[in-house]
Amino acid sequence: MEETKWKKCSQIHRSRCQQISVLLVGGAIDSVNIQAHAKINLHLEVVRKRKDGYHEIETLFHSLTLHDNIEIRKRCDAGIRIDCNNARIPLDKRNLAYQAADLFCQQMLIKNGINIKIKKRIPIASGLAGGSADAAAVLQGMNRLFEVGLGVEDLKKMGIKLGADVPFCLTGGAGIGYGVGEVLTKISPLDDVPILLVNPGLEISAASAYQGLDLRHSRQLRDVKISAKYVEEGNLRGVSQSLYNRLENSVFQSYPAISILKEELGCLPESYGSLMSGSGATVFAIMSNDIEAIKSSEVLKRKFPICIVARTSPFGLKIA
């Protein structure tokens, strides 16, 4: 009798211990892994230059499957340490991932040190928002790692302090961006459409692309809503016919090779149309199928250093 009672007690104790150990493991997270996705702009109109020097734009963003991998790990000592597989990425305060971690720690009063490991796949300074995607991943990753529980709107308010594309990278998918790109309206994304990305080996800073822009002449502004409607309908022909980027003219004047590349991608078999993304230098083509996208990229690789076949993605971040 006594023995049965003891057995029962010990079973309950064991099961409680198991519960507690699960809670401890679940609660005390040491690291998070996040996929930080690239974006393209299917439409980019520059509305005006503001008094503070920034340009007001209307743009249609779309996330891609192409992504960097970010690992954030707690450290016993203080400080933020960055490690990256690409030697051309700064590892100090100039890195947007560093700035994001620093801002999050300051605003949330976090004293813990962290290591951030960046596996870079998104080409640098290429109009694909690689730095912004990394910053967005760090904000969301820190939120998870330290169990702060901020909503995406709070993170977007932090994100805009780091860069105009950070708020979109936090939400991802497809969205219209107003203001400097931070006032976002989400729309239904395209469903797994192959996108061929080609970069002629040029790095263009967004600042230099906007500097070359001449906004004095009167012009008709292109309406972003037309492209957005085609995206929501999944009408690839419509999306391709309305592809537009106001920055192309100024960038093409300085780098005629990008204009030639755009024409070449537009003429590929099974290409619906082509456009320079953001401030360049990457040009993308919307392709009708994967096989043709891969075949074309194999041929183009002989001429251009960066040729990547990606797809449209319904999200900007993925936490593993």
As annotated, the active-site residues are 39, 165
Element spanning 109, H or E = none
Residue 231 CA to residue 141 CA, distance in Å, equals: 30
Return the closest-CA partner of residue 198 out of 109, 272, 62, 298. 298
Site string for ligand ATP, 84-123 (x = CB under 6 A): -----xx---xxxx--------------------x-----
Report the residue number, 52 or 191, with the smaller CB distance to ligand ATP.
52
Site string for ligand ATP, 157-176 (x = CB under 6 A): --------x-----------
Residue with tokens 């590892």: 91
Residue type, 95: N
Q: Within the chain, what is the greatest distance between any pair of CA atoms?
A: 96
Report the residue number, 127 or 273, with the smaller CB distance to ligand ATP.
127
Residue with tokens 């734009």: 57
Residue 297 CA to residue 312 CA, distance in Å, equals: 17
Cβ of residue 135: shortest distance to ligand ATP, in angstroms? 7
Applying CB under 6 A, does 206 fall inside the site for ligand ATP? yes
Q: Please give the C-alpha separations between residue 4 and each of 7, 14, 15, 142, 315, in angstroms, as whole numbers.
A: 5, 15, 17, 49, 55
Residue type, 5: K
Contacting ligand ATP (CB under 6 A), which of 278, 292, 307, 312?
A: 278
Report the residue number, 173 or 292, with the smaller CB distance to ligand ATP.
173
Site string for ligand ATP, 122-151 (x = CB under 6 A): --xxxxxxxxx-x-----------------
Report the residue number, 89 or 268, with the smaller CB distance to ligand ATP.
89
For binding to ligand ATP (CB under 6 A), which residues are involved?
Answer: 89-90, 94-97, 118, 124-132, 134, 165, 206, 278-279
